[in-house]
Structure 1
Amino acid sequence: MTILVIAEHNNATLNRATLNTVTAAQKIGGDLHVLVAGHNAQAAASAAAKIAGVAKVLLADAPHLAEGIAENVEATVLGIAENYTHVLAPATAYGKNVLPRIGAKLDVAQISDIIAVDAADTFQRPIYAGNAIATVQSHDPIKVVTVRSTAFEAAASEGGNAAIEAITPGPATDRANFVSREIAKLERPELTTASVVVSGGRGLGNKENFESVLTPLADALNAAVGASRAAVDAGFASNIYQVGQTGKIVAPRLYIAVGISGAIQHLAGMKDSHVIVAINKDAEAPIFSVADYGLVGDLFELVPELAKALH
């Protein structure tokens, strides 16, 4: 049994979600290979070779792989897929773009967003916005799986010494071209990897309140800032901050929900947090059903007092 993990990277460094995916692969068992498909990506391949438990790194290096266009990565993976029993990728925007194409071309059913490995052919995944857990068994010859990174610890990024093998990249697609990429530069910790997240909802009223109320608290805790879908739709924050089923899945050590009622789709994105604190004036708000600690009251009074106490 040999497993392939498709690495997410920027040609220089690995996305942390790759390390979580490696941990999931290790729970399946067998030899573990990592594919780095990119351009001038030797640094990313070297980083992958150092991951504990990785037996081999496959480096596909070509200009048409530089930007991670899904059709090009797909062609490279299909060229080697028959050598593997499992193909895994993080359940990020990148993985969700690449893996379904591979599953379709291999004519196998993708198993999405797994949170546990029961056996080499059996996995657990959330359904109904996380309100139920499905146990899925696959008899496909090649299992195509995306991994929820928050459900698995990151593999050690040091300690491995895998061989790096250059492979022939797949052909370039003529159906998609890279045009441009806008990368948001955040001064705070990245939302999906932060140990503390402070999120705001529609209860903050407007964009100015969202920033003025949450910023001091986030500064005091060195926290990432998140937002509910309602807050994003109302224009209080960019969609890069959205937490929920249609946003980012987070599981920090501390999650503080400010003015968030607790819609099902939002709870699906954060209810696995270790400690949840909810601040809301409505004592019947659904957010309190998952909160470890709740403050019922005016957030415009409570949050500044909390931030002041922490400074």
Structure 2
Amino acid sequence: MEKLTVGEVTLTWLDGGVTHLDGGAMFGVVPRPLWSRKYEYNEKNQIELRTDPIFFQMEGKNILIESGIGEGRLTEKQIRNYGVTEESKVEESLEELGLTPADIDVVLMTHMHFDHALGLTKRQDGKLVPAFPNAVIYTSAVEWEEMRNPNIRSKSTYWEENWTAIEHQVKTFDEEFEPVKGVRMIHTGGHSAGHSIIIIETGEERLVHMADLLATHAHQNVLWVMAYDDYPMDSIEAKKRWLPEVMKKEDWLFFYHDAVYRAVKWNEEGELIDYVRKERSPVQSESS
């Protein structure tokens, strides 16, 4: 498990599974000759996308950002369609840290699309139950509303089975919220109507999770947004608002999906000045 320590905060990436999605969809209108210079793709034009929750501790709380794709949550057809080659091993990752899912106090959900929310529940005795039974789950009020009442487009990613078992754990916020001192969730919209980013402050330093507004390091260009984005112009405006500030301050940016970097630090010119690279397993190395 990769780690990044900044000030008094240590981020640890758990094993939440991996998908392979169409590169064209992930980079929207950007032609493949451009995006393929920055991110590898396979013979099916798919790119590898991790779904790895980020664990950290603050104010005596055990906190997760996102939840992975779970284990045994997808059908064979879904596994094939989403290019899933590994399912979650979050419980095993927590065990390496001396923890169990029952020890998680807070789960921060930037949004509730299936590839972020599947890991919130698990199958037990033939039914779905909370995977983190003692946690408070935070997401924006807009996101939670659409999760339960999706439209004709979003119903493909907001699944009823992903919220009914955990609705008693969910607490929502409007525009900005501090679930734990030093941690802010800020509603941005864009990728989804209720999408949020997360900022962690420790001393004079900041760590920023832009979630699916910046799914990978290759999405640095503010105009490079996904075809999956429900409101692409809102995504662009949010990136224009946040990326210049983050780069000027030389904040750490950390990722849930990126298969190359766990975190990066760019300067004001967009140059890579520090990073944490995703370690590749022997199987990945042989196939890459």
TM-score normalised by length of structure 1 = 0.30
Question: By percentage of residues, which structure has more helix?
Answer: 1
TM-score normalised by length of structure 2 = 0.32
Question: By percentage of residues, which structure has more strand?
Answer: 2
Structure 1 or 2, whichever has the larger Rg, is 1
